[in-house]
Structure 1
Amino acid sequence: MTFVPAPPRRPAPAPVLAPGRRAGRLGPSAIAVVLALSAEAAAAAAPAPGPSDSSAAAPEGSAPSDSSATAAGPASGPGAAAAPTSVNAGGSAPVVPAPADSADPEADPEDSSRSARKLEGPADAATVETPAEALPMASATGVKPPRVDGTYVGVTLGPGVSFARVNDFPTPNAFVGGGGTFRVGEVIYPWLSIGVEISGNLAYRGADPRQRLLQGAFLVDFGFYPGAKKQIPLSLRAGFGAGGGAVRERGRTDRSGFGGAVFTAAVRYEFFPGAAKRRPTRGGGFSLGPELGYIGFMPAAKGRPMSHTLYLGLYVGFYFGS
């Protein structure tokens, strides 16, 4: 009976030396591993022996089955050119690729330093802060904080001219003097503020007979800011409330007065000196500016006592910001 040997198996290609890496010597344990792998590759390439004649001739091109060939190294054949091992000049040990973490003198030092700086995980990435995140919000967005903002308190002081009428004696001339207004309130919206106002005025008539006017009022104050979108601190003010006043004349013990509903109207422009430096990221600040206004004590009926006052004053206030 004739046995036909199995076709030879092509040995598995061995790993190729990594480019740019130099081979080095291995220790005894590594040499043993390499020899074992070479023996397995040779055994896979050898034909299967028959039951009657183990030394049957193999077809041409097959790897020899001699054990001495196994000990010498991998079988010669089509895959022999890709074998990763070689023998040194002394014939002592085969040469294999160096480990991936071995030192490479030809490696780029920039690549190694770049890999050393790689983040280890999300925790390290969270510690990295970009310059844009480190800047304050106001600086990053380029939007200035509003100056007319939050609770405010202020005082207006200045001269004024009053025209009054009473029942007991005539007041043909104007009263010249000065007055003041105290305000406190809250900026509800960028274009609207609501507060309370206490106003007082003292004036004199220069012609004979000399007369004196004293008046005061308590009002609810509203402020409207038409340029709020462009942060222009120009306000139109209006108020209403109640109050009264009296006129005295030299040489007379009696006095005559007026009282009832009071209305006010004013226009004001404010400046905020130093607020951008002292409060760069917060709204509000110290303010001052001119205010031109009107205070009217309305007559209860035609011909009844009344008073009208025009004033030009300086407003000084402070906005605490929201």
Structure 2
Amino acid sequence: MPAAPAGRARRALAALRRLLPTPAGTPFTFVYALILLGTAVYADLGDEATVAQLLRDSSTDAAHLAESPLFVLLASALWVAGGLYSAYGVAFVFVLTALERRVGGARTAGVFLLGHVLATLATELPVAGAVAAGQLPEAALHRLDYGISFGLMACVGALSGLLRPGGKWALLGVAGAMCAQDLIELVDPLSSWGHPIALLTGLACLPLVREGARRTARPDDAAGAAASADAAVPLPLLPPWLPRQYVPPRAPQEGAAGGVAVRGAGEEPADGGRAEPVGRIPAESEAPRDVVGVDDGLHHAHGGEAGPVGVAPRVPRPVPRPRAADGGGEERRRDADALQSR
């Protein structure tokens, strides 16, 4: 009885390991999660003034995007809004682990970065335009904007397309409800509009992630199919370097010495079953000859053979007469009687 609970516990641990990032299975998520853990610990336990300055320098506000866009787009994705107690950090671990196990680290990083960049630009560039048009104060150019929520929402949209219908609609339902709540409350207009934009960006990446899922999930199946296709092609009967008129001899008969094989019925040569070494090309070609008025079953006993032009005719061998049971004595007596009659 204790074996059943132990088996269930092992299966539960194996399932839990698949939900969490590992260095070998999900290297991108594993390394990125360690970085986020380090910055979250420092944001909660470090010097407040230093942390505030680092967050301001990493902010993707309109002013920083105009000065150093690449730096702030990357630096802002190294912090988790809310620190160690943020729900975004927990969702990041599970969502990116599930996505990377299906499509690989490169595509997961691409989806995350694309959602983070596009949603940031789509929300900050209108702010810069509104400030330039005089509709917003200049202080709007320096608002604090950092975190992983845009990239995470893009990965949620991409992952939903790889799940079964039940999990797909459940995940999209939760993400859609969060976006709708943000738009209704409108506490932070830029984040409220950025989340649905990032979710749509992840959904637009479905063709890319589905192709990656096919390549990641079935590499062995493709190799096995190729091997099966190769095995289904029959091997040639003759090696390519042998003449086409040469027929390989059959397997050595029982009792034959030295690996010699004799042709079977229907393949006997004209000299009455001459043996050939296995795998050796015969000395002379066995091209068909034109024979006039001779039955092949008589072994050319009466001549009349005509070969091709330029080829010497073949001289038939004398056919031995059948010998009597007494070793030829009757034939000698007939010859002696004939001499005496003369």
User: TM-score scaled by structure 1?
Assistant: 0.25
Structure with greater strand percent: 1
Highest RCO, 1 vs 2 (Cα 8 Å, sep ≥ 6) = 1
Larger gyration radius, structure 1 or structure 2: 1
